Amino acid sequence: MFDDFKQARIDVGEAELFVRHGGDGPPVLLLHGHPRTHATWHRVAPLLAAGHTVVCPDLRGYGRSSKPPSTPDHEPYSKRAMARDMVALMRALGHDRFAVVGHDRGAYVAQRLALDHPSAVTHLAVLDSVPIGEALARCDAGFAARWWHWFFLGQTAKPAERVINADPDAWYRGDPEQMGAQAYEDYRRAIHDPLTVHAMCEDYRAGLGLDRAADDADRAAGRTVACPMLFLWATRDDMEDLYGDPLQVWRSWADDVRGHAVESGHHLAEDAPDELADAIATFVTQRGAQAR
């Protein structure tokens, strides 16, 4: 995986992040989701590296990155904390401004980066996700039935870690053919680490509390994503079932939004890497509303 990419462990102050980076050109930060690691991008990153510097970290708590101790409010696993990591990481690699692409839980970090650090983010691309605050505000029986794991992983009275750690392979059911053999082994090593499982649950606990509060505060204050935004969603997932035209959801959160569906399951980087890499490369070379 990641031929010609360098790998490093970088201290960002609150955590130490494992990262692969390579290529040459304008920087693009790729953020994975749950329960994946940076390796989910192994088919996309080399395609982008032909014209961009590509940075693929494990989020704090995930993969080979460190697992900071949590707190009763789960702040160390909030998307605001993870966004701080990413600004520090990119500065350590010499990038003060960069494009960011986020999938699943990584999409929430990418959104928070764009909202909290607008001077650092040139372009925001979100894959198969709407804001946490938006999803919870719209939550109904249909959402709860499909996304029940949010509430299972996020509660603390009966922690989910004990259930997951009893048989991580049965719980997560990763597919080595879909993911690629080496990416699958990286993911599998992570899900068999109880500290990683706990950190991933903390991510969801922060999501139901501090992350939703941050989104709600932005909505109340009228804050929106100022940079150009791309939203791509999978045809074989539930974005359209839940939200109709999901692009319209994002148009209330960002000033300049474009996007389209991609023939794919939820993990676009694994199912449709060529189309995804092409869409990202085209987007991050564009500027402003005239590129719609």
**27-49 burial, b for 16+ CB within 10 Å, e for fewer?**
bbbbbbbbbbbbbbbbbbbbbbb
Distance, CA of 141 to chain centre: 25
Residue 288 has pLDDT above 90, yes or no: no
For the chain, report the end-to-end CA distance as a whole number of angstroms: 34
Token pair 């004990």 is found at: 162
Question: Where is 252: in which H helix or E strand?
Answer: none
Whether the Cβ atoms of residue 27 and residue 33 lie closer than 8 Å to each other: no
Catalytically annotated residue among 104, 128, 215, 256: 104
Q: Is 255 a catalytic residue?
A: no
- Per residue in 239-262, pLDDT (tens digit) is 999 999 999 999 999 999 999 999
**Residue located via tokens 């460190």:** 66
Summarize the confidence of residues 110-139 as an average pLDDT: 97
pLDDT digits (tens, 9 = 90+) for 157-182: 999 999 999 999 999 999 999 999 99
Evaluate if residue 208 carries a pLDDT over 70: yes
- How far is residue 269's CA from residue 41's CA, in Å, rounded to a whole number? 6
DSSP helix/strand/coil, 37: coil
Q: Is residue 8 predicted with pLDDT exceeding 70?
A: yes
User: What is the C-alpha to C-alpha distance for residues 211 and 203, in angstroms, rounded to an integer?
Assistant: 9
**148 has pLDDT over 80:** yes
Q: What is the mean pLDDT of residues 57-79?
A: 98
Q: What angle do CA 87, 133, 131 make, to 5 degrees?
A: 55
CA-based angle 37:41:42, to the nearest 5?
A: 105
Instruction: Tell which phi-psi region holds residue 102, choosing left (phi > 0), alpha (psi between -120 and 50) or beta.
Output: beta
C-alpha separations of 276 from 44, 167, 179, 222, 233 in Å: 7, 33, 15, 31, 10
Distance of CA 89 to the CA centre of its chain: 15
| Residue in 172, 86, 89, 78 with CA at minimum distance from that of residue 133 | 78
Tens digit of pLDDT for each residue in 20-44?
999 999 999 999 999 999 999 999 9
- Answer with the residue of higher pLDDT: 287 or 125: 125
At 286 the pLDDT is 80
Residue 287: what pLDDT? 67
- Report the mean per-residue pLDDT for the chain: 96
Instruction: Indicate if the pLDDT at residue 57 is higher than 60.
Output: yes
260 is a catalytic site residue: no
| Residue 208 DSSP symbol | I
CB contact set of 221 (below 8 Å; sequence gap of 6+): none
Is residue 107 a contact partner of residue 126, using CB atoms and an 8 Å limit? yes
210-238 average pLDDT score: 97
Give me 67's structure tokens: 């697992």
Q: Does residue 289 have a pLDDT over 80?
A: no
Is the pLDDT score of 290 beyond 60?
no
Ordered domains of the chain (ranges, CATH): 6-291 (3.40.50.1820)
